[in-house]
Amino acid sequence: MSTTTTPTDGTAPATRRYVRLLPGDPAPWFRQATAANPRFSFDTVAGRYIVLLFHLSAGDGLSRAALDAVAANRHLFDDAKVSFFGVTLDREDSRQGRVPDMIPGIRHFLDFDGTVARAYGAVPETAETVTPEDTRRFWLILDPMLRVLDVVAMRPDGADRDAVLKRIADLPPVARFAGRPIQAPVLFLPHVFEPALCRRLIDHYESVGGRESGFMRDVDGKTTLVHDHSHKRRRDVEIADAALIRETQARIRRRVVPEIRKVHQFEVTRMERYLIGCYEAADQGHFRPHRDNTTRGTAHRRFAVSINLNDDFEGGDVFFPEYGPDGMVPPPGGAVVFSCSLLHSVRPVTRGRRFAFLPFLYDEAAARLRSENNQFLADGIGSYRDGLPPEDRSSET
């Protein structure tokens, strides 16, 4: 997607190489600071339309006019259908409060190292220093899958502002962004666990008692367990009973692994976690949008499996924001199986408790990666052992 060319806005020389995104291209993922979050993960905003404005400095008159137009049309940026992100290279924007980040639906990336600007073609790819003449200022409109819909160059006469705002106002509902509802690329498998096994797993959870569940983030180069109830609220039991582990392995091997082989041409040989999770209505159990393989300590994970154990609850559906808002609730013993790289979320349970068995699956190449990344696990996280214990192999016992 890189090219050597003069941008359409005529503001940069042809001797520089710029990334050039076109409609249909996937937008690059990145992590960058906002005023509220020093490491905002851009990939987690999928599931709504995104407007990116590479204004680069709110101190510039043309950029200021564009930002004022956004503020004047605040109603368009509701964080449900559309979110806005400005991108600035100018530290004075932060120091002088020119890009406040406390308005829902309107945020700004403080891209002072140029990470985002280079990835999107607002500045040259390899330039050590950037002059105003090197920059390209433009709007990008992304669909809920974070693919480019439109690229609109900023213009001295401000015509770009009217064009972008009209385009946003005319966007179809998120559920029909592709022209029709679309199916997330997941497997929906009934009859993975029989009713008696579902009951035994719930009884096992009740007898042991769940512990507060966290999630993984990379902090200072180490994969660290984090707790944040605004992001995730669930209680878990890790199964230690060898016989019960063997029973879950047997069902996964017989009823899930062949489907993954058929659909994805992937040979599962390993299973990680024998975990029963419980989302409770009493504390609004939920898990906000996330991916399961974005840290060094989880990079080996290939497929996630969510097997419902009961149905006497409401809410708690699993959904995939990149593919629309419709959620999935398998029947007791049924599974949703999906790539760990898909953005997914669990909506709050509003009545009762949802119990689920939640392992990850992978192969021998991923097992080697898991072992290599052992060095990046923070203190307090159990080290991965070469070869893994036998009970971690889905093809054994």
CA proximity to 54, closest of 158, 157, 152, 165:
152
Residues 69 and 158 occupy one common structural domain? yes
pLDDT at 129: 74
Residues 121 and 212 occupy one common structural domain? no
Residues 140 and 288 occupy one common structural domain? no
Q: What is the DSSP string of 282-296?
A: GGT-EEEEE-SS-ST
Residues 109 and 19 occupy one common structural domain? yes
Q: What's the domain count of the chain? A: 2
Domain boundary pick from 176, 196, 219 = 176
The CA distance from 87 to 54, in Å, is: 5
Tell me if 158 sits within 8 A of 68, measured CB to CB. no
pLDDT at 258: 98
> Is position 328 within any domain?
yes
> Is position 14 within any domain?
yes
Residues 221 and 357 occupy one common structural domain? yes
The residues, ordered by sequence, that sit 6+ positions from 225 with a Cβ below 8 Å of its Cβ are 214, 215, 216, 378, 380, 381
pLDDT at 14: 52
pLDDT at 384: 55
In this structure, is the dihedral angle defined by the CA atoms of residues 150, 154, 155 and 160, taken in order, positive or negative?
A: positive
pLDDT at 379: 83
Tell me if 14 sits within 8 A of 5, measured CB to CB. yes
Residues 149 and 269 occupy one common structural domain? no
> Is position 376 within any domain?
yes
pLDDT at 60: 95
> Is position 40 within any domain?
yes
Place of tokens 């705002």: 165
Tell me if 392 sits within 8 A of 362, measured CB to CB. no
Residues 214 and 240 occupy one common structural domain? yes
> Is position 86 within any domain?
yes
Full residue range of the structural domain in which residue 18 is found: 2-176
CATH of the domain at 291: 2.60.120.620
360-362 and 303-308 strand pairing: antiparallel
> Is position 182 within any domain?
no
pLDDT tens per residue, the chain (397 residues)?
434 344 444 445 556 899 999 999 999 999 999 999 999 999 999 999 999 999 999 999 999 999 999 999 999 999 999 999 999 999 999 999 999 877 889 999 999 999 999 999 999 998 677 777 889 999 999 999 999 999 999 999 999 999 999 999 999 999 999 999 999 999 999 999 999 999 999 999 999 999 999 999 999 899 999 999 999 999 999 999 999 999 999 999 999 999 999 999 999 999 999 999 999 999 999 999 999 999 999 999 999 999 999 999 999 999 999 999 999 999 999 999 999 999 999 999 999 999 999 999 999 999 999 999 999 999 877 665 443 333 443 333 2
Residues 229 and 83 occupy one common structural domain? no
CB atoms within 10 A of CB 356: 24
pLDDT at 381: 76
Residues 150 and 197 occupy one common structural domain? no
CATH of the domain at 7: 3.40.30.10
pLDDT at 395: 34
Does an H or E element contain 151, and which?
A: strand 148-153
pLDDT at 260: 98
Residues 18 and 151 occupy one common structural domain? yes
Residues 236 and 118 occupy one common structural domain? no
Tell me if 333 sits within 8 A of 359, measured CB to CB. no
Domain boundary pick from 176, 201, 236 = 176
> Is position 397 within any domain?
no
> Is position 181 within any domain?
no
Phi first, then psi: what are they for 58, rounded to 5°?
-75, -5
Q: Which two tokens stand for residue 249?
A: 């392995």
Residues 52 and 146 occupy one common structural domain? yes
pLDDT at 328: 96
Domain boundary pick from 153, 176, 199 = 176
